[in-house]
Structure 1
Amino acid sequence: MPAQHHVLIVGAGSIGLRHLRCFLATERTAISFVEPREEVRQSIIAEYPAAVGYASLEAALAAAKFDGAVIATPAPMHVPQAIQLLECGLHLLIEKPLTLDIASAEALAAAAAESSSVIGVAYVYRANPLLAQMRDAILSGEYGRPVELIAYGGQNFPTYRPAYRDTYYRDHANGGGAIQDALTHLFNAGQWLIGEMEKIVVDADHMILDGVDVEDTVHALARYSGGIMATYTLNQHQAPNEMSFTVVCQRGTLRWEPTQNRFRIATEPDAGWQEIQIEPLQRDELFARQANSFLDAMEGKSAPLCSLAEGVSTLRANVAALDSWRSGAWRSTSL
């Protein structure tokens, strides 16, 4: 079947390549990409002969017509490129973090208000079917009002991102460090489950990761709308790859454990958990689901998994968390 769309991947680092691979796998779109390094560009074309490579965004826009784009460049480039592509009428999927500051996010929101394009932010946890099921259970009201969120994550970052020392991760100014790179995913998932964060206090430090100075360990307390309390704990150096989200409601406790491929519910003391287990998801599966969801949004079939407004809300949590860590004080997300 001929491709229905033509999507441009802007930035062909590790995450850009994953988007390229997963959009191709949908068999719904032709793919082009932007990579200024000639040697890298040619190696990608050799591996993915269906893709067309360009040395710059300007060269791509001059040479072909696109209806969508994925922005996977370093975070400071996201907003200028997004506004440029909006002016060309493209639908956009923008990698996290959306940007680094609220002012640029508001500039993007203003440009988006003048456009009919779909804009999504690539918080890929929302593509996990078990997290969606947990959210539906919370929103159903069956378990009462949420009162507490406990989020925990840890993994050996060099195992999954061996080149981290040579990427944006090493510099806050490029969107690096554990808060902007990893904890932001947890913030976004928490927002999806229980609503808007109102304030946060953070302790963080560089504890172990070799070759960088940015924080690799973060502890945070937060308050959400409706008085919901939250705790976030994350490190990027432990041996086991673990994650869990627990939401304590008035009449039940719900827990998502993505590394165990399960969602659990407990409603009675000492009665054990009710478990919903699925087969392990392949490494690219969430990104493939995200790609299909974005193409559906482009076609008007559904909303983006994470809207621009929701991405801006998560950015406010990022900014408040960094400010709290540096100041040693509670910080509001509304500033």
Structure 2
Amino acid sequence: MGAISKVRYGMVGGGEGAFIGEVHRMAAALDGEFALVCGAFSSDAERNRRSAAAIGVDRAYPTLEALLQSEAALPADERMEALAIVTPNHLHGPMAIAALEAGFHVFCEKPMALDLAEAKAVDAAATRSGKRYGLAFTYSGYPLVEEARLRVARGDFGRIRLVQVEYSQGWLSRPIDSEGNKQAEWRTDPARAGLGGCLGDIGTHAFHLAEHVSGLVVESLCGDLATHVPGRRLDDDAAALLRFAGGARGTLTATQVAAGEENGLRLRIHGEHGGLDWSQMEPNTLTLRWLDRPAEIVRAGGPGLDPATTAKLRTPAGHPEGYIEAFANLYRSFGRAVRDGAGPAFPTAAEGLRTMAFIEAMIENSAGSAKWTTLRT
């Protein structure tokens, strides 16, 4: 068997001090199927130069426009094939459209855009271009999330009745966004973060996970948004009642002011015969509970897993895998789609549109007097 042809990719954003850019680079590198060949890592020229040097990238460009133009002019076997977008939210849509229209595949940080209308423009650009478009809804890449999804899909629990998802963080419990914390500052700025604060940052992860694993579509919701820290311009706390197609009911909570919490993402799904429980902070365990028999503990690497689950594992049982590996599963699937035309086993524009519709429905419902608001994509 010959060596795998690496997907050449570039990156916009993700310079020094940017957490998520480094995560993307580690994830892309894990399986040896990507090569970072260029970037526009910062709008600050000196920071961009330092970042490129630290990463080991020779082709550093001052702007995305320069990157796209220069890369397109290179021979086909040298230019980048895909662009990773790891900037603040307000740039996701315009940059994705520009890259797609220039003939490059795109893998983008979530959310997809600032609003649903812009997300639809991205989707249209992807369709016109014929290029791949992926979104970094990382938690769908965990092996036991895949196992949970497969067990729900094959009917192990019967008809689904309840979907409960929560995502609790505490890092914005103080007004660090007004005290110089750069990551907090842009995430609470409507001009750069978009319509939702906590809602867009982690609420979209919770919503995506609920639909992805349950296989159900949220038809309407009743939402409540709050801003607990005085002076903050976007929500830092969100809660919703959910109505799914087919009759299932659900709850979603997302907060970044649960003081002391780290990254408490948890999903529970219950059907007629039993249910499942998965937590991101204990990602290698999936708990199954039944009406007529004792609970079961399913472990990553252990017996009884579906082959599609084991394909996402890299180490034997008892060797913890986590966030970077889950992220890498998305990159691996995206890379194979780019290289071999494989079907998308990663979040696409369709999921992005759903999450943007969720944000807008939550804001509309929380601000209005209607009890229920329909999600419209």
In the superposition, the TM-score normalised over structure 2's length comes to: 0.81
Partner Cα distance (1:94, 1:9) in 2? 10
For 2:48, the equivalent position in structure 1 comes to 41
Structure 1 position 264 matched with structure 2 position 287:
yes
Q: Find the counterpart in structure 2 of residue 203 from structure 1.
A: 224
Q: Given the alignment of the two structures, is residue 150 of structure 1 paired with residue 169 of structure 2, yes or no?
A: no
Shift of 1:139: 0.2
Say whether residues 1:21 and 2:29 are aligned partners: no
Superposed displacement of residue 129, structure 1: 0.7
1:295-310 aligned within 5 A? 295-299=335-339, 300-310=341-351
Specify the alignment match of 2:375 in structure 1. 333
Could you tell me how far apart the structure 2 residues matched to 1:148 and 1:334 are?
22
Moved more, 233-242 or 94-103: 233-242
Per-residue deviation, residues 144-171 of structure 1 (Å, max 9, x unmatched): 1111101112122259x96433223333
Kept after mapping to 1: 8 A contact 2:223/2:365: yes
More strand by share: 1
| Cα distance change, pair 45–52 in 1 and its aligned pair in 2 (3 A) | same
- Distance (whole Å) between structure 2 residues aligned to residue 123 and residue 293 of structure 1: 13
Q: Percent identity of the aligned residues?
A: 25
* Partner Cα separation in structure 1 for residue 80 and residue 255 of structure 2: 39
Per the TM alignment, residue 8 of structure 1 is displaced from its structure 2 partner at its CA by 1.3
SS at match of 2:21: helix
- Cα distance, 1:272 vs. partner? 4.4
- CA deviation after TM superposition for structure 1 residue 276, in Å: 1.6
Task: Please give the alpha-carbon distance, in whole angstroms, between the structure 2 residues aligned to 1:134 and 1:2.
Answer: 31
Separation in structure 1 between the aligned mates of residue 124 and residue 261 of structure 2, nearest angstrom: 43
Q: 113, 124, 137: which one pairs with 2:151?
A: 137
* Structure 1 counterpart of 2:129: 115
Does structure 2 conserve the Cα–Cα contact (< 8 Å) formed by 1:196 and 1:313? no
Supply the distance in 2 between the matched residues of 1:322 and 1:220 (Cα, whole angstroms).
Answer: 11
Aligned counterparts of 2:94 and 2:192: Cα–Cα separation in 1:
16
Which of 10, 13, 17 is residue 11 of structure 1 equivalent to? 13
Secondary structure of the 1:61 match is helix
Aligned pairs for 1:67-216 within 5 A: 67-157=81-171, 163-171=182-190, 174-175=193-194, 176-194=196-214, 195-208=216-229, 212-216=232-236
In structure 1, how many angstroms separate the alpha carbons of the residues matched to 2:321 and 2:257?
23
Contact 1:150 1:231 survives alignment (8 Å): yes
Equivalent residues of 1:118, 1:304 under 8 A apart: no
**What are the ranges of 5 or more consecutive residues in structure 1 without an aligned counterpart?**
none
Q: 1:211 to 1:43 in 2, by over 3 A?
A: farther
Matched letter for residue 70 of structure 2: A
**What SS does structure 2 have at the residue aligned with 1:226?**
coil
**Alignment partners' CA distance in 1, 2:46 and 2:234:** 30
Contact 1:83 1:108 in 2 (8 A): yes
Q: Against the structure 1 CA distance between its residues 110 and 2, is the aligned structure 2 distance closer, same or farther, given a 3 Å change threshold?
A: closer
Shift in CA distance, 53/173, structure 1 to aligned 2, threshold 3 Å: closer
Question: Which amino acid is 1:223 matched to?
Answer: R
Distance in 1 between residues matched to 2:50 and 2:115, nearest whole Å: 35
- Deviation by residue 1:108-132 (Cα, 9 ceiling, x = unmatched): 2222222221111211111011111
Q: Distance in 2 between matches of 1:306 and 1:328?
A: 33
Matched, 1:320 2:339: no
Runs of 4+ in 1 over 4 A off after TM superposition: none
Q: Which moved more, 1:226-235 or 1:321-330?
A: 321-330
Change over 3 Å in CA distance of 1:233–1:328 after alignment to 2:
farther
Structure 2 matches for 1:249-260, cutoff 5 A? 249-260=271-282
Q: Which residue of 1 aligns with 2:61?
A: 54
- CA distance in 2: counterparts of 1:21 and 1:295, whole angstroms: 14
Q: CA RMSD in A?
A: 2.5
* Distance in 1 between residues matched to 2:187 and 2:280, nearest whole Å: 26
Deviation at 1:2, TM superposition (A): 8.4
Correspondence for 2:331: 291
In the alignment, which residue of structure 1 is the partner of 2:310? none
- The amino acid that maps onto 1:147 is R
Gap change, CA 1:217 and 1:276, over 3 Å in 2 = same
- Please state if 1:311 is matched with 2:352: yes
- On the 8 A contact 1:245/1:255 being kept in 2, the answer is yes
| Amino acid in the other structure paired with 1:43 | R
Alpha-carbon displacement from aligned partner over 1:195-225 (angstroms, at most 9, x marks no partner): 21111111121224x8733222211101111
Structure 1 pair 28/50, CA: closer, same or farther in 2 (3 Å)?
farther
Q: Contact 1:120–1:304 (CA<8 Å) still a contact in 2? A: no
In the alignment, which residue of structure 1 is the partner of 2:303? Answer: none
Distance 1:199 1:122, change over 3 A: same
* Paired residue type of 1:151: V
Check conservation: 1:217, 1:236, Cα contact below 8 A.
yes
State the SS of the aligned residue for 1:39: helix
Aligned residues: 333
Q: Tell me, in whole angstroms, the C-alpha distance in 1 between the residues paired with 2:135 and 2:288.
A: 29
Tell me how far 1:289 sits from its aligned partner.
2.2
CA distance in 2, matches of 1:168, 1:3: 37
> What is the TM-score when the length of structure 1 is the normalising length?
0.90
One-letter amino acid of the structure 1 residue matched with residue 374 of structure 2: S
